[in-house]
């Protein structure tokens, strides 16, 4: 059986092919000649920093030998943390994720490295090396799956957040998997965890679940606020935001549930609550930013709930508010057009006033992958769906079907089955009004996106 080549044989072959003596190769790579000689003889393990110097001296890409290095030094030989730590760092920097996966699966068999791997995952996560951090968190969680530790719960929380950030996010399964670990987290971190979990259920419209989580969040916040009032003021905060803002957010969630249930008066009551909660004395700069944010949300949502309940006279005030808060325009127009469809309003003046912003929606859409992008995608899908219904009701068929096809393209690429079904059903009702080009585009979407089963 032919033996697999080693890093050492690659180096020796390279030196032989180029006619390099040991001293010459040492000068080229910058590796001490004695160290180089010992590494080639196998009497001294090669450090990853030296391997990088040799790789550069041979004119090869960074990390060229990492796959072989991981086998030779961490799989075929007993791993040592002093050598493993810098190797994992280099792999993360050079995006050699397969090497990280292979090595950590091997070393987590020995639970003595669990603590070090967790600390490294935290470091990677902090420094934006998200994919490398996710691999480590998942391996640590697997290594501790029979433990009931806070570290395991924190691992599961980090995995939950990272999946939202860097992977196509299966909202429901991720939420279900993470939820049992919340109570094991630090009590302040639980505030962030419940907020993040509620946001996921909010996105997939599990309103009963959002309501329960909002109640749980408010209970835990009240306990923390009581605890905070009895503590020394210089104790470091663990939660990401000032504690009082979580109480405001709990009521913001409750308002969103009432909105979904069309209980607009009740939604206004919760809006008044969270606007009052953030009225704190002597706020810090951080607190003032958040106070202004909640006050802004309260103002916009009051217009929204009044408009949705049929008080159409507020629309001009709502549009003036949006002029000063352009980041709210997309979600606001989802609701404005939806309200127009429900109450048979003519909102052409509003669409004309914000035409330049709406035109920009076409350049910003087609976002895929991460949780935040999926949320934004869902808003685009809903906007174009509502706009299609609005234009079709006006008998502006070409404009309506164009908006419908835009929504369908986004829904199918985002794997939003529910919206795809709604859009296909709507198209079926107005298919006879489509142009030849629109019919061809529709057929292409159905065929290329594999959504013909919805018909």
Q: Please give the Cα distance from 433 to 438 (Å, whole number).
A: 10
- For residue 416, what pLDDT is reported? 76
Q: At residue 371, does pLDDT exceed 60?
A: no
Report CA-CA distances (Å) from 275 to 12, 251, 302: 72, 9, 11
Q: At residue 60, does pLDDT exceed 80?
A: yes
Average pLDDT over residues 236-241: 87
Q: At residue 366, does pLDDT exceed 60?
A: no
Between 1 and 238, where is the model more confident?
238
Q: What token pair was written down for 173?
A: 């399964």
Q: Please give the Cα distance from 276 to 248 (Å, whole number).
A: 8
Dihedral of CA atoms 9, 14, 15, 17 in degrees, nearest 10, equals: 120
- For residue 281, what pLDDT is reported? 87
Between 26 and 430, where is the model more confident?
430
Most confident of 5-14, 30-39, 285-294, 415-424: 285-294
Residue pLDDT, tens place only, 355-365:
988 887 755 54
Phi-psi region of 58 (alpha: psi -120 to 50; beta: other; left: phi over 0): alpha
Q: At residue 175, does pLDDT exceed 90?
A: no
Between 208 and 366, where is the model more confident?
208
Q: Please give the Cα distance from 373 to 359 (Å, whole number).
A: 19
Q: What token pair was written down for 97?
A: 């994720």
Residue 363 CA neighbour count, 13 Å, CB half: 5
Average pLDDT over residues 33-43: 82
Between 380 and 107, where is the model more confident?
380
Q: What token pair was written down for 360?
A: 């920009």
Q: At residue 169, does pLDDT exceed 70?
A: no
Mean pLDDT, the chain, integer: 85
Quick count: other Cβ atoms within 10 Å of Cβ 331? 16
Q: At residue 284, does pLDDT exceed 70?
A: yes
Residue pLDDT, tens place only, 289-315:
999 999 999 999 999 999 888 888 899
Q: Residues 338-362, buried b or exposed e (16+ Cβ, 10 A)?
A: bbbbeeebebeebbeebeeebeebe
Confidence class of residue 112 from pLDDT cuts 50, 70 and 90? confident
Q: At residue 70, does pLDDT exceed 90?
A: no
Confidence class of residue 346 from pLDDT cuts 50, 70 and 90? very high
Chain CA centroid to CA 243, Å: 23
CB neighbour list of residue 438: distance below 8 Å, 6 or more residues apart:
398, 401, 402, 405
Lowest mean pLDDT among 30-44, 67-81, 415-429: 67-81
Quick count: other Cβ atoms within 10 Å of Cβ 82? 8
Q: Residues 122-142, buried b or exposed e (16+ Cβ, 10 A)?
A: bebbeeebbebbbbbbbbbbe
Residue whose token pair is 């791997």? 117
Of the chain, the percentage scoring pLDDT greater than 70 comes to: 89
Most confident of 132-141, 228-237, 262-271: 262-271
Q: At residue 231, does pLDDT exceed 80?
A: no
From 300, 303, 310, 376, select the one nearest 339 (Cα to Cα): 310
Average pLDDT over residues 320-331: 90
User: Three-class SS of residue 368?
Assistant: coil
Q: Residues 408-441, buried b or exposed e (16+ Cβ, 10 A)?
A: bbbbbbbebeebbebbbebbeebeeebeeebeeb
Report CA-CA distances (Å) from 180 to 154, 190, 220, 320: 12, 12, 16, 44
Quick count: other Cβ atoms within 10 Å of Cβ 191? 25
* Rg from Cα positions in the chain: 29
- For residue 292, what pLDDT is reported? 92
């Amino acid at each position: 059986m032919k033996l697999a080549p080693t890093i050492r044989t690659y180096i020796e072959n390279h030196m032989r092919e180029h006619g390099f003596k040991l001293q010459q190769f040492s000068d080229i790579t910058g590796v001490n000649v004695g160290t180089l000689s010992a590494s080639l003889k196998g009497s001294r393990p090669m450090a990853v920093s030296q391997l990088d110097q040799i790789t550069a001296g041979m004119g090869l890409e960074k990390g060229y030998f990492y796959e072989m290095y991981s086998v030779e030094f961490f799989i075929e030989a007993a791993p040592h943390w002093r050598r493993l730590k810098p190797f994992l760092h280099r792999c993360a920097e050079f995006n050699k994720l397969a090497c990280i996966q292979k090595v950590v699966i091997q070393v987590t068999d020995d639970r003595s490295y669990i603590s070090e791997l967790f600390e490294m995952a935290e470091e990677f996560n902090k420094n934006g090396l998200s994919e490398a951090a996710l691999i480590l968190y998942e391996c640590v969680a697997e290594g501790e799956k029979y433990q009931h530790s806070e570290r395991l719960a924190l691992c599961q929380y980090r995995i939950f957040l990272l999946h939202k950030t860097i992977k196509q996010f299966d909202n429901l399964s991720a939420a279900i998997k993470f939820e049992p670990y919340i109570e094991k987290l630090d009590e302040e971190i639980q505030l962030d965890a419940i907020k993040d979990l509620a946001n996921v259920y909010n996105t997939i419209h599990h309103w009963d679940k959002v309501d329960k989580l909002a109640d749980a969040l408010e209970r835990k916040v009240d306990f923390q606020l009581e605890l905070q009032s009895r503590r020394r003021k210089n104790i470091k905060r663990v939660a990401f935001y000032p504690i009082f803002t979580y109480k405001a957010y709990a009521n913001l969630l409750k308002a969103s549930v009432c909105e979904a249930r069309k209980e607009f008066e009740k939604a206004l009551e919760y809006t008044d609550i969270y606007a009052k909660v953030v009225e704190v004395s002597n706020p810090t700069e951080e607190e003032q930013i958040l106070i202004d944010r909640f006050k802004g949300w309260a103002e916009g949502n009051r217009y929204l709930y009044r408009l949705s309940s049929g008080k159409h006279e507020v629309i001009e005030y709502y549009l003036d508010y949006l002029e000063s808060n352009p980041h709210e325009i997309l979600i606001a127009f989802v609701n404005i057009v939806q309200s127009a469809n429900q109450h048979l309003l003519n909102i052409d003046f509003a669409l004309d006033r914000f035409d330049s912003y709406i035109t920009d929606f076409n350049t910003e859409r087609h976002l895929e992958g991460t949780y935040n992008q999926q949320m934004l995608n869902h808003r685009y899908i809903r906007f174009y769906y509502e706009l299609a219904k609005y234009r079709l009701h006006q008998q502006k068929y070409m404009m309506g079907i164009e908006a419908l096809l835009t929504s369908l393209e986004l829904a199918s690429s985002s794997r939003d089955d529910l919206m795809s079904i709604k859009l296909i059903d709507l198209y079926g009702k107005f298919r006879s009004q489509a142009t030849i080009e629109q019919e061809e585009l529709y057929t292409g979407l159905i065929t290329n996106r594999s959504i013909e089963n919805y018909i």
